[in-house]
Structure formats: structure tokens, C-alpha cells
Structure 1
């Protein structure tokens, strides 16, 4: 779980000019037609479905990791999820570029997709934060490592972690627990807010599709 946030991230994909031009050439002749716009919006919804499946895999993988401690399997999953999310982001950026092209001139839809991208990035970063916090556990409940302790035949195990519990140390531990609870609560709330915002944006996309198909 070390540097988890760095392992599962959404990078900002930058399509090469050649990639964008090739994609634009495919739809250049009728990019502004209702059908072409609907096709692009449906492609975008399909990308969002891929993201949903990726989150489901990440959630299951984390639960398995917490239960079994399979570090290598989970790290492999993190790498796969990173590739999946970055590919999804790249596709959305390409669609956004088409909406901004002179042949389409749908800046409103490009802005809508950009808003989704921003909230998706927030959601993933906060999801990583939640998993890091849950893996670490509340400070007062974390297990103590005895790797630096000593063992002597005469006295047996000599634990370097033993200390007198004072009012000060008890207060410090309580404060650490409170900060942990606060951080976890804020991260969970942030994910919920991101999900609500994304769903609202997706509803706008579906309304747009319905309106275009009604023309």
C-alpha cells in the first residue's frame, strides 16, 4: 500500500495533434449533425460505464486485500486500474476535442465532459485516501511491530514499546484518533459529493441525447 495515491491516479492525457486530427477527419463531414453528436455522447457514456466497472474491481480487490493481505495481487490490480482509468480519460479528452472543433462547435458539451473529468479525478484521489486510511487503521488500534525488540535468556522478551500511560500520552492518542476519524469522514463525504455531481452531469448528457434524437 506504500504510495498508493501514486499508483492509482488519473493523469491528464494529452492527445497528439495527429491523433486528434485523425479522429476529426473521421467525423469532419457531418460532425455537427445530431446523429454524430449523439454517437459521441453515447461513446462517452460507454467510457463512464468502463469507469464504473473499474471502481467495482478496485473495491473488491481492496476488500480481498484487507482480508487476506495479498500485497502483490493488489499492487498488480492497482497497476491495471491505473491503465484503465488513464485510457478512459484519454478517450474523453478526444471526444471533448471533437466537440470543440470548428465542425462541431459544441463548447457546452466539451465543458460538460471536462467537468466530469475533474470530478472523476477528485473521486479517485479521495478513494485512494480512504483505502490508505482504512489500511492504516485508527492510531489507537494499530498493531505494534516488535522487530526492534530484544530477547534475553535471563529476562525473555524485552519490548521497546512499553511505556507508562500518562495523561499526556492518552490525550495525544485521543487527538490522533479524532484526526483520523475526521480525515476519513471528509474523504468519504468528498467521494459521495463527487458521485452526486458526476451523476447529475450524466443526466445532462442523457437529456441532450434525448433532445437530439427527438429532432
Structure 2
């Protein structure tokens, strides 16, 4: 596909591009392109704020879920948060496409948005991992169920959890706890690394906005 065909396709099919052009007066001059770029970057910051609010809502919902064990409400919240993140990602991908449009010609900003998307995906994946681990709890602290026990009388059963405490059993439990702790620490560290990267990328975005506003 030629650059001309690509430009035509984007201008016809992308409602965000039409909206930005309308907002900026539809000019294809350097001033008009700068204005469109500025509007897009400001919208990106708004999207990131939406993501931050969604994470805060998810965190509150998970805390309430752990305390009340309200499975239905938590699943409903997860569906809402997933829809919100999907919408944010969709809008950022549209922005990437617009920055690659020959009229704008800002592949550097398109790459920056792509990098943000990658880190946001990693952050979300690890956030879910943390919640799954915390809900399960450390192996040695998990509540026991008696589904596999043998009941001889209504109030008496042979509990499969009763066993002789041996050094081997203690070591196995300690290893399971250590594996759990390491997985949780790794996920938390991964989220922190993703947040650091995202903040650095957003700082670059703010510098770009400041430069465009100064022109």
C-alpha cells in the first residue's frame, strides 16, 4: 500500500482522526499538524488518568472481595474493569495509527505509545497475578477442607489432613511457602518496574506537550 493509499484509508475510516481535524480546524499545515498532535497527546494523558482510576477501583474491589468473599460482585467489577481497559487500549491504538499517518509523520510518538501499551499490558497481567496469589494465600496458611475425608458417623470422620509431622513434611511446606513468597515478590517487583517505565514515557509525553505549547 502506498503512502497516499494509507493516508486515504485512515482519513476515511478513523472517526478519531476526523474528530481531531474538526477540533483543530482541519488544517494540514505545519501549525495544524502541531495542533492535532497536541490534542492527541493531551488525550493520551486523559486516558492514562482513566487507567489509574480503574486500577484504584479494582484495588478497592479486591479488598472488599477478600473481606466479604462476594464472588458475584467481584466478577462484575472485573468485567467492568476489563471493558474499561479494552476501551483505553483501543483509543491508544487509534492514536498510534494517526501518528503514523503521513500527514502527521510522528513515528517516534507512535513508538512511544506502543511502548506504553506494552508496559500497561504487563502491569495489568501482573496485577491480576498478585490478586490471585493473595486470594489463595500462603500454602501453610490456607484453610483446610474435608471433602476427601472418610465419614464413619455423622460427627466422626477420618481426616486426611492428620499426619505425622516429619522433617520431610516440614521441608516440603517451607519450600511451598518460599515458592509462593518469591512469586508474589516477583509480581510486585514487575508491577513497580512497569509503573516506572510508564511514568518515564509519560514524562517524555509531557515534554513534547510543553514544546508544542511553546511554539
Question: Shift of residue 24 of structure 1?
Answer: 3.3
CA distance, structure 1, for counterparts of residue 86 and residue 114 of structure 2: 15
Tell me the matched-pair count: 200
Cα contact 2:10–2:101 (8 A) shared by 1: no
**Residues 20 and 97, structure 1, Cα contact 8 Å, conserved in 2:** no
Unaligned residue ranges in structure 1 (runs of 5+): 1-15
Q: Secondary structure at the match of 2:144?
A: coil
For 1:164, what is the secondary structure of its paired residue? Answer: coil
Contact 1:24 1:98 in 2 (8 A): yes
Conservation of the 8 A alpha-carbon contact between 1:31 and 1:103 = no
- TM-score norm. by structure 2 comes to 0.87
Give the drift of 1:36: 1.3
Larger Rg over CA atoms: 2
Q: Tell me, in whole angstroms, the C-alpha distance in 1 between the residues paired with 2:10 and 2:142.
A: 51
Distance (whole Å) between structure 2 residues aligned to residue 78 and residue 128 of structure 1: 10
Residue 156 of structure 1 and its aligned partner are, at CA, apart by 1.8
User: RMSD across aligned C-alpha pairs, in angstroms?
Assistant: 2.0
Question: Where does residue 17 of structure 2 map in the other structure?
Answer: 24
State TM-score, norm by structure 1: 0.87
Distance between the aligned counterparts of 2:103 and 2:146, measured in 1? Answer: 67
- Aligned twin of 1:57: 57
Greater relative contact order (Cα < 8 A, sep 6+): 1
Runs of 4 or more off by more than 6 Å in structure 1?
A: 16-19
Q: Which runs of 5+ in 2 are unaligned?
A: 1-8
If each structure's helix is expressed as a fraction of its own residues, which one has the higher value? Answer: 2
State the SS of the aligned residue for 2:104: coil
